[in-house]
Amino acid sequence: MPQHHNTGPNRRGQGFENSERLRELLTRLNDDGPDAWRTDAEAAALMRHAAQKYAALARKHGLDPWEAATAAFEAMRTAAVRRADDPWAAITRAVQITCIAENRANGLLCSVHQARRPRYSSFHDAERFSDRENPLTDYHPAFRADPFTDEEDDVDHTTENTGSTGVESAVEDTIALLCWHGWEPEVARAAVECICARLAESVSRAGAYESLRRDRHARALLDIPAPSWYRLLRIILGSPDTHLAGTNAGRGLLLRLLIGEPLWHLMDDTELGAAIKVAAPGIMRGRP
């Protein structure tokens, strides 16, 4: 008795691994219009196949398989893939690039669009304050008040007795205070940790302030408008204005916490609270 061969797509992968078969399907879906991707059963099967195909690649970059499938879907809708000599090779390359960009974006705390650009992707991953081996956990000269004020003796005596717990507590209290006055938690944490990381690398608060004020790349990665960024630097590191030396505005929020000023007292500081609220990115962007 003669055997009848199934001429349709085989059961293994619905025949999608065949590049010409894939090209025919993508061409048909394109001709049928955008609704075809939502209603066509074969399109749904193709996307399940893509999720399985790129699951290992997604996991390699710390992503969910469906994130890789989404990148494959975006590639499949392009004319370049339909015209490629090997559609699957073109899709795989597109998914690989997207996974790398997603992974870099997570590390750099920026958008995927920015992570694709060499001017941003060349930076190392953002470091959290708690991940550094010896950042501000020991006494650091940057916490001295001498760059802004002459109160060396009082400040040095206080900060020498400040251990790692006190410094970490001051950083967390700074983040909490920003959030209390309207900052988004993720933005507040990323900004404060960026400032602390630069402070740990600088010889003084004045040096850290000036370095961060000129660093457009850091501000771009944090996605904070320039006015908000400059205000935040003054709030956290203190104002460099000589006439404010010795004042709370000159000391800055971090130093005030380190020399023992309690968080509840700072929360009651209406002038400080107003400055933090005005500096919040959402408020600055909302201005005409």
What are the boundaries of each domain within the chain? Answer: 12-121, 129-286
CB 155 within 8 A of CB 144: yes
Q: Given pLDDT bands bounded at 50, 70 and 90, which one contains residue 262?
A: confident
- Per DSSP, the three-state class of 160 is helix
pLDDT of 127 > 80? The answer is no
Q: Given pLDDT bands bounded at 50, 70 and 90, which one contains residue 1?
A: very low
CA–CA distance from 82 to each of 120, 179, 197 (Å)?
Answer: 31, 49, 47
Q: Given pLDDT bands bounded at 50, 70 and 90, which one contains residue 232?
A: very high
pLDDT of 135 > 70? The answer is no
pLDDT of 94 > 50? The answer is yes
Tell me the average pLDDT across 169-173.
86
Q: Given pLDDT bands bounded at 50, 70 and 90, which one contains residue 156?
A: very low
pLDDT of 5 > 80? The answer is no
pLDDT of 8 > 50? The answer is no
The reported pLDDT for the residue numbered 287 is 43
CB 160 within 8 A of CB 139: yes
Q: Given pLDDT bands bounded at 50, 70 and 90, which one contains residue 238?
A: confident
Of the candidates 113, 127, 131, the residue with the CA atom closest to the CA atom of residue 220 = 113
Mean pLDDT for the chain overall = 76
The reported pLDDT for the residue numbered 16 is 75
CA–CA distance from 260 to each of 155, 249, 253 (Å)?
Answer: 10, 16, 11
The span from the first CA to the last CA of the chain, in angstroms, equals 82
pLDDT in tens, 193-206: 888 888 888 878 88
Tell me the average pLDDT across 269-279.
89
Residues in Cβ contact with 127 at an 8 Å cutoff, skipping those fewer than 6 apart: 193, 197
pLDDT in tens, 65-80: 888 888 899 889 999 9
- Per DSSP, the three-state class of 242 is helix
C-alpha 92/C-alpha 104 separation (Å) is: 18
pLDDT of 12 > 50? The answer is no
Q: Given pLDDT bands bounded at 50, 70 and 90, which one contains residue 116?
A: low
Angle at alpha carbon of residue 103, lines to 136 and 232, rounded to 5°: 40
Q: Given pLDDT bands bounded at 50, 70 and 90, which one contains residue 27?
A: very high
Q: Which residue has the tokens 């929360």?
A: 267
The reported pLDDT for the residue numbered 247 is 80
